[in-house]
């Protein structure tokens, strides 16, 4: 399956893509909570007040994203 990129359409689309990237380690079983993945930009965004520390609570199904 070829990979390609699509332009970000608006702020809501940007947020959806950012959420999806941060939830991937949980989705793939690498960690139980988003905050447990040490390599994520999530931590910087929590520090900047963009996300709460317990965002998604480790349950990616609540966001409604699928592959």
| Catalytic residue status for 39 | yes
Rounded-to-5 percentages of helix, strand, coil across the chain? 50, 0, 50
CA–CA gap between residue 23 and residue 62 (Å, rounded): 11
The three-class DSSP label of residue 54 is coil
Q: Which of 4, 14, 39, 59 is catalytic?
A: 39
Q: Which residues are catalytic?
A: 39
């Amino acid at each position: 399956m070829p990979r390609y990129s699509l332009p970000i359409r608006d702020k809501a689309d940007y947020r959806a893509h950012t959420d999806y990237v941060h939830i991937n380690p949980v989705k793939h079983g690498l960690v139980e909570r988003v905050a447990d993945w040490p390599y994520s930009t999530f931590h910087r965004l929590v520090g900047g007040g963009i996300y709460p520390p317990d965002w998604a609570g480790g349950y990616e199904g609540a966001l409604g994203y699928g592959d």
